[in-house]
């Protein structure tokens, strides 16, 4: 019968490796040689804590017992109004960095032309949007009653539309083409008459619905 091999009851000091990992509750290795800042405490300080929210890089140095007590009492928002707290929370969301409305850069309008686009992706996207807009406009125009299509084009309006939108567009074009504002210009007068006919025709149709 084979004898069982006994496991070693100790580990050689050569094989034993000491962990050098810094534990969270250990004193700060860079702590200065000083006593705890807590009143009447004579223990060695090894733990730092910010003085207040306006001096986050200036510290008190405490012993372990008093840094725990200090942290338990810490209130970053102490003395702030609700409005100030809300502003602080909003700033924290963007890591205290300025932010701007989507589509702008640094408070200025966003310019697609300044973007390097070697694959021409932006132009392709713009072309697709323009094509989709043309198709949508064509579908809307074809959906309009045949007798109104020319009049809608005269007023640069899409179908369907409301009577309020029709009136607003008419007032805009009437001011622009009225003979009194164009010094009796013949072309403006003819355009004004065309606008009146288009407006009257579309209004009559909308009123009959």
- Does 13 score more than 70 pLDDT? no
Whether 104 is in a domain gets the answer no
- Residue 29 has a pLDDT of 85
Return the bridge partners of 62, or none.
47
Separation CA 130–CA 142 (nearest Å): 18
- Residue 1 has a pLDDT of 45
Whether 124 is in a domain gets the answer no
- Residue 141 has a pLDDT of 58
Q: How confident is the model over 51-72, as a mean pLDDT?
A: 90
Q: How many domains does the chain have?
A: 2
**pTM here?**
0.36
Per-residue confidence at 202, pLDDT binned at 50, 70, 90?
very high
Q: What is the CATH number of the domain that holds 150?
A: 1.10.287.110
Q: For the beta carbon of residue 143, count every other beta carbon within 10 angstroms.
A: 11
- Does 97 score more than 80 pLDDT? no
Tokens at 100, concatenated: 């701007």
Supply the range of the domain harboring residue 195. Answer: 143-208
- How many helices (H) does the chain have, and how many strands (E)? 6, 4
Residue 206: CA count within 13 A, CB half-sphere? 16
**By three-state DSSP, how is residue 80 classified?**
coil
Whether 136 is in a domain gets the answer no
């Amino acid at each position: 019968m084979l004898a069982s091999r006994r496991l070693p009851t100790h580990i050689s000091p050569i094989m034993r490796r000491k962990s050098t990992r810094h534990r969270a509750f250990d004193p700060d290795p860079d702590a200065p040689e000083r006593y705890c800042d807590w009143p009447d405490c004579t223990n060695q300080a090894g733990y730092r804590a910010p003085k207040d929210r306006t001096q986050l890089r200036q510290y008190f140095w405490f012993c372990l017992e008093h840094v725990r007590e200090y942290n338990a009492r810490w209130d970053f928002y102490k003395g702030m109004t609700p409005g100030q707290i809300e502003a602080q929370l909003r700033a924290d969301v963007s890591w205290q960095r300025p932010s701007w409305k989507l589509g702008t850069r640094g408070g200025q309008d966003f310019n697609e032309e300044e973007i390097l686009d070697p694959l021409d992706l932006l132009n392709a996207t713009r072309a697709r949007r323009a094509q989709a807009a043309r198709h949508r406009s064509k579908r809307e125009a074809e959906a309009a009653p045949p007798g109104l299509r020319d009049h809608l084009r005269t007023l640069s309006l899409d179908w369907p539309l409301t009577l309020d939108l029709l009136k607003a567009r008419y007032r805009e074009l009437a001011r622009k083409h009225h003979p009194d504002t164009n010094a009796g210009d013949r072309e403006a007068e003819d355009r004004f008459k065309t606008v009146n006919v288009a407006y009257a025709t579309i209004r009559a149709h909308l009123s009959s619905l």
